Amino acid sequence: MKCSFALAVVAFLGAWRPSVQAAVLWIEGEKPASSAMNRHPWWYDQVKRDEFSGGDFISNFSPEKAGEAEYRFEATQAGEYTLWLRANPTQAALAYTLNGGSETPVNFTQGVRDITNVAADAKPDLRFLAWINAGVVTLKAGENTLRFQMTSPNSHHGYLDCFALANEPFTPSGKAKPGDALDPGTTASSEAGWFPFAPPADKFDRTSVIDLRGLNESFAGEHGWVQAQGGHFAFGSTGEAVRFWAVNGPPGGLDQAGLKQSARTLAKYGVNLVRLHGGMFDEAGEVSPDKIRHAQETVAAMRAEGIYSHLSIYFPLWLTPKPDTQWLTGYNGSQHPFAALYFNPDFQAQYKKWLKALLTTPGPNGRRLVDEP
Protein backbone atom coordinates (compact mmCIF):
# COMPACT_ATOMS: atom_id res chain seq x y z
CA MET A 1 0.00 0.00 0.00
CA LYS A 2 1.37 3.41 -0.93
CA CYS A 3 0.87 6.47 1.25
CA SER A 4 1.35 9.70 -0.67
CA PHE A 5 -0.53 12.01 1.69
CA ALA A 6 0.60 13.98 4.75
CA LEU A 7 -1.02 11.83 7.43
CA ALA A 8 2.24 10.15 8.39
CA VAL A 9 5.83 11.24 8.43
CA VAL A 10 8.68 8.82 8.05
CA ALA A 11 11.93 9.54 9.83
CA PHE A 12 14.63 6.96 10.29
CA LEU A 13 15.72 7.78 13.76
CA GLY A 14 17.67 6.20 16.23
CA ALA A 15 21.29 5.66 23.18
CA TRP A 16 23.61 3.30 24.39
CA ARG A 17 23.25 2.51 28.06
CA PRO A 18 25.77 0.55 30.10
CA SER A 19 24.71 -2.81 31.44
CA VAL A 20 24.68 -3.50 35.17
CA GLN A 21 24.64 -6.64 37.24
CA ALA A 22 21.10 -8.03 37.15
CA ALA A 23 19.24 -8.00 40.44
CA VAL A 24 15.74 -7.94 41.94
CA LEU A 25 15.53 -6.72 45.52
CA TRP A 26 12.40 -7.92 47.33
CA ILE A 27 11.31 -6.30 50.61
CA GLU A 28 8.31 -7.37 52.69
CA GLY A 29 5.95 -4.56 53.73
CA GLU A 30 5.43 -5.99 57.21
CA LYS A 31 9.15 -5.68 58.01
CA PRO A 32 9.91 -1.94 58.17
CA ALA A 33 12.88 -0.54 60.06
CA SER A 34 10.42 1.86 61.68
CA SER A 35 6.75 2.74 61.22
CA ALA A 36 3.85 4.79 62.49
CA MET A 37 0.77 2.93 61.33
CA ASN A 38 -2.79 3.09 62.62
CA ARG A 39 -4.38 -0.30 62.04
CA HIS A 40 -8.09 -1.09 61.71
CA PRO A 41 -8.23 -4.73 62.83
CA TRP A 42 -11.97 -5.40 62.75
CA TRP A 43 -12.64 -4.28 59.15
CA TYR A 44 -9.81 -2.94 56.97
CA ASP A 45 -7.40 -5.66 58.10
CA GLN A 46 -10.01 -8.40 57.60
CA VAL A 47 -8.49 -9.77 54.40
CA LYS A 48 -7.48 -13.02 52.75
CA ARG A 49 -3.99 -13.26 54.19
CA ASP A 50 -3.01 -16.10 51.88
CA GLU A 51 -3.16 -13.56 49.03
CA PHE A 52 -0.29 -11.59 50.60
CA SER A 53 3.42 -12.23 50.25
CA GLY A 54 4.65 -13.87 53.44
CA GLY A 55 1.05 -14.03 54.66
CA ASP A 56 1.25 -10.54 56.13
CA PHE A 57 1.33 -6.83 55.29
CA ILE A 58 1.37 -3.35 56.78
CA SER A 59 -1.65 -1.04 56.70
CA ASN A 60 -3.12 2.25 57.82
CA PHE A 61 -6.71 3.38 58.34
CA SER A 62 -7.30 6.54 60.34
CA PRO A 63 -9.35 9.68 59.65
CA GLU A 64 -6.80 11.75 61.60
CA LYS A 65 -3.37 10.21 60.99
CA ALA A 66 -1.38 9.35 57.88
CA GLY A 67 0.56 6.10 57.85
CA GLU A 68 4.35 6.09 57.61
CA ALA A 69 6.87 3.29 57.19
CA GLU A 70 10.60 3.34 56.55
CA TYR A 71 12.67 0.51 55.07
CA ARG A 72 16.43 0.00 54.88
CA PHE A 73 17.99 -2.38 52.41
CA GLU A 74 21.31 -3.08 50.71
CA ALA A 75 22.06 -2.71 47.01
CA THR A 76 25.23 -4.41 45.82
CA GLN A 77 25.47 -2.10 42.83
CA ALA A 78 24.48 1.50 42.26
CA GLY A 79 22.29 2.35 39.29
CA GLU A 80 18.76 2.67 38.00
CA TYR A 81 16.09 0.27 39.27
CA THR A 82 12.39 0.03 38.49
CA LEU A 83 10.32 0.33 41.68
CA TRP A 84 7.35 -2.05 41.83
CA LEU A 85 4.89 -1.76 44.73
CA ARG A 86 2.27 -4.28 45.76
CA ALA A 87 -0.16 -1.94 47.46
CA ASN A 88 -3.78 -0.84 47.61
CA PRO A 89 -4.62 1.13 44.42
CA THR A 90 -8.29 1.88 45.24
CA GLN A 91 -8.99 5.56 45.94
CA ALA A 92 -5.46 5.63 47.27
CA ALA A 93 -2.76 8.24 47.76
CA LEU A 94 0.76 7.01 48.47
CA ALA A 95 4.12 8.76 48.24
CA TYR A 96 7.73 7.68 48.75
CA THR A 97 11.03 9.34 49.64
CA LEU A 98 14.32 7.71 48.64
CA ASN A 99 17.47 8.39 50.66
CA GLY A 100 16.12 11.64 52.06
CA GLY A 101 15.33 13.11 48.66
CA SER A 102 12.17 14.79 47.48
CA GLU A 103 8.78 13.17 48.02
CA THR A 104 7.39 11.42 44.94
CA PRO A 105 3.67 10.61 44.65
CA VAL A 106 2.74 7.20 43.23
CA ASN A 107 0.63 7.39 40.06
CA PHE A 108 -2.26 4.94 40.39
CA THR A 109 -3.68 5.77 36.95
CA GLN A 110 -1.07 3.84 34.97
CA GLY A 111 1.29 0.91 35.42
CA VAL A 112 -1.27 -0.95 37.57
CA ARG A 113 -1.64 -4.70 37.07
CA ASP A 114 -2.88 -7.85 38.77
CA ILE A 115 -5.67 -6.15 40.75
CA THR A 116 -7.10 -8.50 43.41
CA ASN A 117 -10.04 -8.17 45.78
CA VAL A 118 -8.55 -9.27 49.11
CA ALA A 119 -11.58 -8.57 51.33
CA ALA A 120 -12.26 -11.58 53.56
CA ASP A 121 -15.97 -11.29 52.78
CA ALA A 122 -15.27 -10.56 49.08
CA LYS A 123 -17.19 -7.28 49.21
CA PRO A 124 -16.16 -4.74 46.54
CA ASP A 125 -15.14 -1.95 48.91
CA LEU A 126 -11.69 -0.45 49.55
CA ARG A 127 -9.84 -3.69 50.21
CA PHE A 128 -7.89 -4.33 47.03
CA LEU A 129 -4.30 -5.13 46.18
CA ALA A 130 -2.34 -4.63 42.96
CA TRP A 131 1.14 -4.26 41.55
CA ILE A 132 2.03 -0.70 40.59
CA ASN A 133 5.00 0.35 38.49
CA ALA A 134 6.17 3.43 40.43
CA GLY A 135 8.87 4.34 37.93
CA VAL A 136 12.66 4.31 37.86
CA VAL A 137 14.74 5.26 40.91
CA THR A 138 18.49 5.52 41.37
CA LEU A 139 19.99 3.46 44.19
CA LYS A 140 23.43 3.90 45.70
CA ALA A 141 25.73 0.99 46.46
CA GLY A 142 25.29 -0.09 50.05
CA GLU A 143 22.43 0.86 52.35
CA ASN A 144 19.42 2.71 50.96
CA THR A 145 16.39 4.08 52.78
CA LEU A 146 12.88 4.15 51.32
CA ARG A 147 10.12 5.88 53.25
CA PHE A 148 6.40 5.60 52.40
CA GLN A 149 3.51 7.82 53.46
CA MET A 150 -0.17 6.86 53.12
CA THR A 151 -2.39 9.94 52.72
CA SER A 152 -5.53 8.67 50.95
CA PRO A 153 -8.49 11.10 51.21
CA ASN A 154 -10.61 8.33 52.74
CA SER A 155 -9.11 7.78 56.21
CA HIS A 156 -5.50 7.81 54.98
CA HIS A 157 -6.05 4.17 54.07
CA GLY A 158 -3.45 1.93 52.49
CA TYR A 159 -1.88 -1.51 52.30
CA LEU A 160 1.75 -2.28 51.53
CA ASP A 161 2.30 -5.97 50.98
CA CYS A 162 5.81 -5.81 49.55
CA PHE A 163 7.92 -3.95 47.03
CA ALA A 164 10.59 -4.90 44.52
CA LEU A 165 13.44 -2.99 42.90
CA ALA A 166 14.65 -4.48 39.64
CA ASN A 167 17.40 -3.58 37.21
CA GLU A 168 16.58 -6.60 35.08
CA PRO A 169 13.33 -7.56 33.31
CA PHE A 170 10.75 -8.29 36.00
CA THR A 171 7.08 -9.13 35.55
CA PRO A 172 5.22 -9.30 38.87
CA SER A 173 2.70 -12.08 39.38
CA GLY A 174 0.70 -12.01 42.61
CA LYS A 175 2.74 -12.90 45.66
CA ALA A 176 5.25 -14.97 43.68
CA LYS A 177 8.84 -13.87 44.17
CA PRO A 178 11.37 -14.07 41.33
CA GLY A 179 12.25 -17.70 40.79
CA ASP A 180 9.17 -19.07 42.57
CA ALA A 181 7.43 -21.92 40.81
CA LEU A 182 3.70 -21.35 40.44
CA ASP A 183 1.42 -24.03 41.85
CA PRO A 184 -1.11 -25.14 39.19
CA GLY A 185 -3.62 -25.85 41.93
CA THR A 186 -3.74 -22.21 42.94
CA THR A 187 -4.62 -20.83 39.52
CA ALA A 188 -8.05 -20.06 38.14
CA SER A 189 -7.56 -22.66 35.41
CA SER A 190 -6.67 -25.74 37.44
CA GLU A 191 -8.52 -28.21 35.23
CA ALA A 192 -6.70 -31.35 34.19
CA GLY A 193 -4.19 -30.62 31.47
CA TRP A 194 -3.82 -26.93 32.29
CA PHE A 195 -0.84 -25.27 33.91
CA PRO A 196 0.23 -21.67 34.59
CA PHE A 197 2.27 -20.23 31.71
CA ALA A 198 4.74 -17.93 33.42
CA PRO A 199 8.08 -18.10 31.60
CA PRO A 200 10.95 -16.28 33.28
CA ALA A 201 12.06 -12.93 31.92
CA ASP A 202 14.33 -13.27 28.91
CA LYS A 203 17.94 -12.58 29.94
CA PHE A 204 19.05 -12.64 26.28
CA ASP A 205 21.72 -15.27 26.65
CA ARG A 206 24.31 -14.73 23.91
CA THR A 207 24.35 -18.47 23.24
CA SER A 208 20.74 -18.43 22.01
CA VAL A 209 20.44 -19.96 18.55
CA ILE A 210 17.32 -17.94 17.68
CA ASP A 211 18.58 -14.47 18.64
CA LEU A 212 18.70 -12.34 15.47
CA ARG A 213 20.10 -9.21 17.14
CA GLY A 214 23.35 -9.63 15.21
CA LEU A 215 21.55 -8.94 11.92
CA ASN A 216 20.89 -5.34 12.97
CA GLU A 217 23.47 -2.58 13.06
CA SER A 218 25.16 -2.04 16.40
CA PHE A 219 22.92 1.05 16.58
CA ALA A 220 20.44 2.50 14.12
CA GLY A 221 22.19 5.07 11.95
CA GLU A 222 25.59 3.43 12.30
CA HIS A 223 26.05 3.66 8.52
CA GLY A 224 24.54 7.10 8.09
CA TRP A 225 21.19 8.24 6.80
CA VAL A 226 18.99 5.75 5.01
CA GLN A 227 18.28 6.94 1.47
CA ALA A 228 16.12 5.90 -1.46
CA GLN A 229 18.37 4.71 -4.32
CA GLY A 230 17.24 2.98 -7.47
CA GLY A 231 13.90 1.89 -6.09
CA HIS A 232 15.17 0.57 -2.77
CA PHE A 233 16.47 1.80 0.57
CA ALA A 234 20.23 1.98 1.07
CA PHE A 235 22.73 3.07 3.68
CA GLY A 236 23.93 6.54 2.78
CA SER A 237 27.58 5.90 3.61
CA THR A 238 27.97 2.58 1.80
CA GLY A 239 25.16 2.33 -0.73
CA GLU A 240 24.35 -1.16 0.62
CA ALA A 241 20.68 -2.07 0.16
CA VAL A 242 18.55 -2.22 3.30
CA ARG A 243 15.38 -4.22 3.91
CA PHE A 244 13.10 -3.55 6.83
CA TRP A 245 11.18 -6.05 8.92
CA ALA A 246 8.72 -3.74 10.66
CA VAL A 247 6.06 -3.89 13.36
CA ASN A 248 3.70 -1.52 15.14
CA GLY A 249 4.94 -0.65 18.57
CA PRO A 250 6.29 -0.81 21.15
CA PRO A 251 3.33 -0.73 23.56
CA GLY A 252 2.46 2.75 24.80
CA GLY A 253 3.21 3.87 28.33
CA LEU A 254 6.43 1.90 28.83
CA ASP A 255 9.04 3.46 31.10
CA GLN A 256 12.72 3.52 30.15
CA ALA A 257 13.36 0.03 31.54
CA GLY A 258 10.32 -1.31 29.67
CA LEU A 259 11.40 0.38 26.45
CA LYS A 260 14.87 -1.12 26.75
CA GLN A 261 13.41 -4.60 27.31
CA SER A 262 10.96 -4.20 24.43
CA ALA A 263 13.67 -3.00 22.03
CA ARG A 264 15.94 -5.93 22.86
CA THR A 265 13.06 -8.38 22.44
CA LEU A 266 12.11 -6.94 19.05
CA ALA A 267 15.73 -7.08 17.89
CA LYS A 268 15.95 -10.71 18.98
CA TYR A 269 13.06 -11.51 16.64
CA GLY A 270 14.67 -9.71 13.71
CA VAL A 271 12.74 -6.42 13.82
CA ASN A 272 14.69 -3.42 12.55
CA LEU A 273 11.89 -0.84 12.12
CA VAL A 274 9.01 0.17 14.39
CA ARG A 275 6.06 2.38 13.58
CA LEU A 276 5.49 4.86 16.40
CA HIS A 277 1.82 5.56 15.75
CA GLY A 278 0.53 8.21 18.14
CA GLY A 279 -0.36 11.87 18.39
CA MET A 280 1.97 14.50 19.80
CA PHE A 281 -0.93 16.59 21.10
CA ASP A 282 -3.23 16.79 24.12
CA GLU A 283 -7.05 16.66 24.21
CA ALA A 284 -7.23 20.26 23.01
CA GLY A 285 -4.97 19.49 20.04
CA GLU A 286 -2.03 21.47 21.41
CA VAL A 287 1.56 20.21 21.51
CA SER A 288 2.14 17.77 24.40
CA PRO A 289 5.70 18.03 25.81
CA ASP A 290 5.22 14.74 27.70
CA LYS A 291 4.37 12.84 24.51
CA ILE A 292 7.30 14.37 22.68
CA ARG A 293 9.64 13.40 25.51
CA HIS A 294 8.30 9.83 25.46
CA ALA A 295 8.81 9.66 21.68
CA GLN A 296 12.43 10.75 22.18
CA GLU A 297 12.92 8.06 24.83
CA THR A 298 11.38 5.44 22.54
CA VAL A 299 13.56 6.40 19.57
CA ALA A 300 16.68 6.25 21.77
CA ALA A 301 15.79 2.80 23.14
CA MET A 302 15.09 1.43 19.65
CA ARG A 303 18.22 3.03 18.21
CA ALA A 304 20.38 1.26 20.79
CA GLU A 305 19.21 -2.11 19.41
CA GLY A 306 19.66 -1.22 15.74
CA ILE A 307 15.97 -0.45 15.20
CA TYR A 308 14.80 2.53 13.15
CA SER A 309 11.64 4.50 13.95
CA HIS A 310 8.82 5.49 11.61
CA LEU A 311 6.90 8.44 13.06
CA SER A 312 3.17 8.46 12.35
CA ILE A 313 1.78 11.41 14.30
CA TYR A 314 -1.85 11.84 13.24
CA PHE A 315 -5.05 9.85 12.77
CA PRO A 316 -8.49 11.52 12.69
CA LEU A 317 -10.00 9.36 15.44
CA TRP A 318 -7.49 10.77 17.92
CA LEU A 319 -8.96 14.26 17.70
CA THR A 320 -12.42 15.65 18.44
CA PRO A 321 -12.18 19.41 17.93
CA LYS A 322 -14.01 21.55 20.44
CA PRO A 323 -16.46 24.16 19.14
CA ASP A 324 -14.05 26.99 19.96
CA THR A 325 -11.00 25.51 18.19
CA GLN A 326 -9.77 28.35 15.97
CA TRP A 327 -7.80 26.13 13.60
CA LEU A 328 -10.79 23.85 12.98
CA THR A 329 -13.83 26.09 12.80
CA GLY A 330 -17.22 24.56 12.09
CA TYR A 331 -16.90 21.52 14.35
CA ASN A 332 -19.41 21.00 17.14
CA GLY A 333 -17.32 18.97 19.57
CA SER A 334 -18.69 15.58 18.53
CA GLN A 335 -17.04 14.99 15.14
CA HIS A 336 -13.62 13.77 14.06
CA PRO A 337 -11.84 15.83 11.35
CA PHE A 338 -11.51 13.03 8.82
CA ALA A 339 -10.62 14.95 5.64
CA ALA A 340 -9.89 18.42 7.01
CA LEU A 341 -6.11 18.02 6.78
CA TYR A 342 -6.35 17.84 2.98
CA PHE A 343 -7.89 21.27 2.46
CA ASN A 344 -7.93 23.32 5.69
CA PRO A 345 -4.83 25.59 5.77
CA ASP A 346 -5.29 26.40 9.48
CA PHE A 347 -5.32 22.69 10.36
CA GLN A 348 -2.32 22.09 8.10
CA ALA A 349 -0.45 24.79 10.02
CA GLN A 350 -1.35 23.10 13.31
CA TYR A 351 -0.15 19.74 11.95
CA LYS A 352 3.17 21.32 11.01
CA LYS A 353 3.36 22.78 14.53
CA TRP A 354 3.10 19.28 16.02
CA LEU A 355 5.71 17.98 13.62
CA LYS A 356 8.12 20.87 14.17
CA ALA A 357 7.90 20.45 17.94
CA LEU A 358 8.53 16.72 17.66
CA LEU A 359 11.52 17.00 15.36
CA THR A 360 13.22 20.12 16.73
CA THR A 361 12.79 19.91 20.51
CA PRO A 362 16.15 18.97 22.08
CA GLY A 363 16.07 15.70 23.97
CA PRO A 364 17.75 14.90 27.30
CA ASN A 365 21.05 14.42 25.46
CA GLY A 366 20.68 17.74 23.61
CA ARG A 367 20.07 16.09 20.24
CA ARG A 368 17.01 16.78 18.11
CA LEU A 369 15.19 14.02 16.26
CA VAL A 370 15.60 15.92 13.00
CA ASP A 371 19.37 15.42 13.36
CA GLU A 372 19.07 11.73 14.25
CA PRO A 373 19.62 9.15 11.47
- Judged against a pLDDT cut of 60, whether residue 17 lies above it is answered with no
Least confident of 48-57, 76-85, 187-196, 298-307: 187-196
Say what the pLDDT of residue 217 is: 96
Distance CA 265, CA 275 (A): 16
* 7 falls within a domain: no
Do both 47 and 153 map to the same domain?
A: yes
Do both 49 and 136 map to the same domain?
A: yes
The mean per-residue pLDDT over the stretch 244-273 comes to 91
Q: How many domains does the chain have?
A: 2
Among residues 109, 139, 167, the one where a domain terminates is: 167
- Judged against a pLDDT cut of 70, whether residue 333 lies above it is answered with yes
CATH code of residue 340: 3.20.20.80
Among residues 107, 134, 167, the one where a domain terminates is: 167
Contact yes or no for 141/77 (Cβ under 8 A): yes
Among residues 131, 148, 167, the one where a domain terminates is: 167
Tell me the C-alpha to C-alpha distance, in Å, between residue 9 and each of 291, 295, 303, 314. 16, 14, 18, 9
* 261 falls within a domain: yes
* 57 falls within a domain: yes
Residues 98-155 have pLDDT tens digits of 999 999 999 998 778 889 999 999 999 999 999 999 999 999 999 999 999 999 999 9
Q: Which domain holds residue 106?
A: 24-167
Q: What are the respective helix, strand and coil percentages of the chain, to the nearest 5?
A: 20, 25, 55
Please give the DSSP secondary-structure letter assigned to residue 202: P
**Helix extents (H) in the chain:** 256-268, 289-304, 340-343, 345-360
Do both 262 and 154 map to the same domain?
A: no
If one compares 186 and 222, the residue with the highest pLDDT of the two is 222
Distance CA 55, CA 28 (A): 10
Least confident of 18-27, 176-185, 280-289, 363-372: 176-185
Do both 132 and 278 map to the same domain?
A: no
Q: Residue 207: which pLDDT band, with cuts at 50, 70 and 90?
A: confident
Compute the residue count for the chain: 373
Residues 6+ apart with CB under 8 A from 46: 119, 120, 121, 127
* 59 falls within a domain: yes
- Judged against a pLDDT cut of 60, whether residue 332 lies above it is answered with yes
Residues 52-82 have pLDDT tens digits of 999 999 999 999 999 999 999 999 999 999 9
pTM over 0.75: no
Do both 273 and 359 map to the same domain?
A: yes
